Amino acid sequence: MQHNAGFTRDDVVTAALELGVDRFTMGKVARRLGVSTADLGRTVSSRDDLLVACLERVSADVTLPPTGLSWQDYLRQLSDSLWDVLDANPGLDHTLIDLAWAYVPFMSVAKRAHNALVSGGLRTEDAYLALNYTLSTVLTSHQQAAAMAETVESERQPGRSERGIDIATRMWDERFGGSSAALGMHRSHHLHSGDDADRVPFRPKESWLDRGAMAPKLEVIIGGFSGLSSVLSTSGAGSDGASRGPSPESQPNDTRESSVNTLVLVFHPNISESRVNKALGATAESLGGNITVRYMYDIYPDFNIDVATEQAALLGADRIVLQYPMYWLSCPPLLKKWLDDVLTFGWAYGSTGTALHGKELLLAVSVGGAGSAYGREGAHIYTIHEFLRPMQGTSRVIGTKYAVPFLSVGALEITDEAIARRAQDYAAVLQTAELPMLDIFG
């Protein structure tokens, strides 16, 4: 085997995507790159690590419809965009359906789509449902289309191939057409004349090879939510008769979203000179509502932490966000002291230390170096998630639910435009009612 010493993590991700996210193995990727499987260990730690990188690449390439559309048109264009992504990445539909955590890298995309639906006229809770139904419909319809288009060896004509749709059509016609007994099915299975019109829409069609099976389902979804919106706009009530509040157009942005009590603790030693953390903190403050932001270096410039005050703040929160820049591959000193002082035995851990059990813990971490510096081929060897393992371990000890960290990479050279996009993503995450929890890194 020719040794390819110059490959990067991006090359490995590209090779895996070319093989298919549901079909690649470490061995196949290595052979495609002309390296040994052991060589891959310099860039990825496991197949799961590589799969996450693949999904993150696909998520970054998703093109969402423009904002300013009605929610109906946004859903139509969104379904087409998602179909294009699935076409470009064979096996992605299987992966998103079959793997429980595969949706996590797409959370930022999903939240932006949700916000666009709300802006287009849907209530927040209805936008979540509409998005959920649409994503499920696109995935299952695409999976069906892929199966219909796939060619397999013909059982009736050895040496020849048939498409799935040709086999399905033949089976349909044999069961419900003129053949008296197909596949062991007898005349009793045939349709009565009065049932023919009802059954015809289910006979396989060539349009099912593309979006033909998805489009009518999507219109049913849109019609259902349009009808619901009409009822609510005249009655002001939900399906159970309870009031569902004002329409999203009349509701201020800072009160449309989650009612989760969120405490954001910003540990930046010099926030006024910061670019990324300053922007993220300001964004969090602008959301108002149930989101409280505290700048810890301003509160405790002498590192003399008021433990009672901090514990009371934590008790009042459902979600705790620790926002900080990575310092020497760890956290700033005040955060370390805060952990030591506030998370006391008998209160935060130990047999009676259950004060924080069940609360969510989200890390919002900025990293100065480029993403290429992290990982097996990078200068730091380990991934950012591996450097955050001590925090994940702390979360386990104190009984909090460890959410997928919000990472801002390349902070030293990031553009203003990229910071603005990251701030928008941060707002979406903070306002999300249910954060995805991290359970795939051990």
CATH fourth-level superfamily of 267-431: Flavodoxin domain (3.40.50.360)
Collapsed DSSP state (helix, strand, coil) of residue 73 = helix
CA distances, 317 to each of 215, 290, 357 (Å): 43, 9, 12
C-alpha atoms less than 13 angstroms from C-alpha of 28 in its C-beta half-sphere:
15
pTM given for the model: 0.51
| Alpha carbon distance 111, 427 (integer Å) | 10
Whether the per-residue pLDDT at 193 is higher than 70: the answer is: no
Question: Domain limits of the chain?
Answer: 9-60, 267-431
Whether the per-residue pLDDT at 165 is higher than 90: the answer is: no
Length of the chain: 442
The topology (CATH level 3) of 9-60 is Arc Repressor Mutant, subunit A (1.10.10)
Lowest mean pLDDT among 4-18, 39-53, 168-182: 168-182
Q: Which residues are 185's β-sheet partners? A: 182
pLDDT band at 287 (very low <50, low <70, confident <90, very high): confident
Contact 409, 367 (CB under 8 A): yes
C-alpha angle with apex 417: 414 to 418, nearest 5 degrees?
45
> Residue 293 has which token pair?
């932001």
pLDDT band at 324 (very low <50, low <70, confident <90, very high): very high
Q: Which helix (H) or strand (E) holds 222?
A: helix 214-235
Considering only CA atoms, give the Rg of the chain.
26
| Alpha carbon distance 292, 284 (integer Å) | 8
DSSP string, 330-350: B--HHHHHHHHHHS-BTTTBS
Whether the per-residue pLDDT at 238 is higher than 60: the answer is: no
- The single residue listed with the structure tokens 């620790």 is 322
What pLDDT, on the 0 to 100 scale, is given for residue 42?
A: 83
pLDDT band at 439 (very low <50, low <70, confident <90, very high): low
Average pLDDT for the chain: 81
Contact 288, 256 (CB under 8 A): no
What pLDDT, on the 0 to 100 scale, is given for residue 239?
A: 38
Whether the per-residue pLDDT at 1 is higher than 50: the answer is: no
| Alpha carbon distance 408, 425 (integer Å) | 10
| Alpha carbon distance 266, 212 (integer Å) | 50
pLDDT band at 208 (very low <50, low <70, confident <90, very high): low
What pLDDT, on the 0 to 100 scale, is given for residue 206?
A: 75
